[in-house]
Amino acid sequence: MSSVIVFDGVSKCYRLGSIGNQTLYQDLNRWWAKVRRKPDPLLKIMDARDGKDGDQFIWALRNINLEIQHGEVVGVIGRNGSGKSTLLKILSQITAPTTGEIKIKGRIASLLEVGTGFHPELTGRENIYLNGALLGMSKEEIQRKFDEIVDFSDVEQFIDTPVKRYSSGMYVRLAFAVAAHIEPDILLVDEVLAVGDAQFQKKCLGKISDVSQKEGRTVLFVSHNMGMITSLCKKAVLLDNGCILVEGNVTDVVTRYYNAGISSPYAVDFRKQGKKVGDQYATLLEVHIEDMEGNLIGEVDIRAPFKLKMTYDLHGAPVAPRPNFYVISPQGQYVFVTGGGEKGKAIDGTYEATCIVPGNLLNNETYTIDAALLYTDSIFHYSFHERGAVMITVIDPIDETIEETTRYGMSGPLPGAVRPKLPWEVRKIA
């Protein structure tokens, strides 16, 4: 296999307090804050990550040396602020490295932000041509693939409707469909598959699998969903504070991700991480998994129930939001979604939401769990949707002498995302 991407000592430095080192939007924000004698918004963000005051130079990436082979699907993981998106932006030539060199062999298609390049006043049809042109497709190429793009996105009924009237799910479906049909040599995907329903996610995963395996193209995939990472990728790279902490087999890298204290598989306290999760109405404080006695656990017997818990603050919410947990299989598919809470007026304060998952429901797999808080005030909103917040591994002891399990005499790994214990009746009728 030949290398299609080579990072040779690549670093990215941002100089704080100067114009021209960020995006135009960020530069203007910094200038306007300075005019009003307000703290530099970017300085505040970066100081929180590095734990230093008054730094004028911030290294988003530090001495990255990495080779990616033709046809590989590589997962890039790490906490927020670790440098994942900066890595992809350098690859897509949105920004240039400060030091080092990057060599790319082939055509790149980037899907870094939902609907990048879409004009809200234009229709879906017009935006396909616009976005396709921005991504390097010729008019003839777009015309040839137009029907395939529309069919993949499932927005045919609304293709001549301005995209400003699209839901976020329709928006991302169309954006992904355009990017995925460019026929790139290298596809960059940054957390895009987190948007959309389970059916669309399955379709996207299938497309990425086809792009890499059947068409032999290279994919770099950034996600906080470890289930998706492990199911889609064979190789992974773990970034921490702009540096490569470890690279190699995806299972080993994901394990290191949790064991390194960067994240916990079963408990996370965002207050200790200095991370703000939420909007102006709600803030997620903590997510963890407990057994029925209140002990923190990362593994559970397949027969035993366990608790999913989240703690959050409400401050000025228009209506009472409803907490939700999303349970996701190792293949990246939603197993189920569960929500609680009552409708009504929101009262400010700190809340703890608990959901009990019964025993003999899930299969013996490792499941990723998202924590979300949503409310409806004329339209649907997320206050937060923290993807891959925690993980739980369901263990099957394969010992039916203790208590009857859902194996029913079968041996080996059993298929399915769930394995519920259901009531049966078997009787002789003749």
pLDDT at 156: 87
Q: Where are the domains of the chain?
A: 3-259, 267-395
On the question of a common fold for 3-259 and 267-395, the answer reads no
Q: How far apart are CA 409 and CA 391, in angstroms?
A: 29
Q: What is the CA radius of gyration of the chain?
A: 23
pLDDT at 131: 83
pLDDT by residue for the chain (430 residues), tens digit each?
A: 678 899 999 998 876 554 555 566 666 776 777 677 666 665 544 443 444 444 456 788 989 999 999 888 899 988 767 888 889 888 888 888 888 889 998 878 777 665 566 788 899 999 899 888 877 788 888 999 999 899 888 888 899 999 888 876 788 788 878 877 877 788 888 765 555 555 666 677 777 777 767 777 888 888 877 767 877 788 999 998 889 989 998 888 877 776 665 555 788 888 887 778 888 899 999 999 999 999 998 889 888 999 999 999 999 888 889 999 999 887 677 899 999 888 778 899 999 999 999 999 998 888 889 999 988 766 677 889 888 888 888 888 765 444 556 766 666 667 788 888 888 889 999 8
What would the two tokens of residue 11 be? 């670093």
What would the two tokens of residue 123 be? 């229709």
Output the pTM of the full model: 0.57
Q: Side by side, which strands form the sheet with 3-15?
A: 57-69, 3-15, 99-104
Superfamily of domain 3-259 in the CATH hierarchy = P-loop containing nucleotide triphosphate hydrolases (3.40.50.300)
Three-class SS of the chain:
CCEEEEEEEEEEEEECCCCCCCCHHHHHHHHHHHHCCCCCHHHHHHHHHHCCCCCCEEEEEEEEEEEEECCCEEEEECCCCCCHHHHHHHHCCCCCCCEEEEEECCCEEEECCCCCCCCCCCEHHHHHHHHHHHCCCCHHHHHHHHHHHHHHHCCHHHCCCEHHHCCHHHHHHHHHHHHHCCCCCEEEEECHHHCCCHHHHHHHHHHHHHHHHHCCCEEEEECCCHHHHHHHCCEEEEEECCEEEEEEEHHHHHHHHHHCCCCCCCEEEHHHHCCCCECCCEEEEEEEEECCCCCECCEEECCCCEEEEEEEEECCCCCCCEEEEEEECCCCCEEEEEECCCCCCCCCEEEEEEEEECCCCECCCEEEEEEEEEEEECEEEEEEEEEEEEEEEEECCCCCCCCCCCCCCCCCCCCCCECCCCCCCCCCCC
pLDDT at 27: 66
CATH 3.40.50.300 applies to domain 267-395: no
Q: How far apart are CA 384 and CA 283, in angstroms?
A: 8
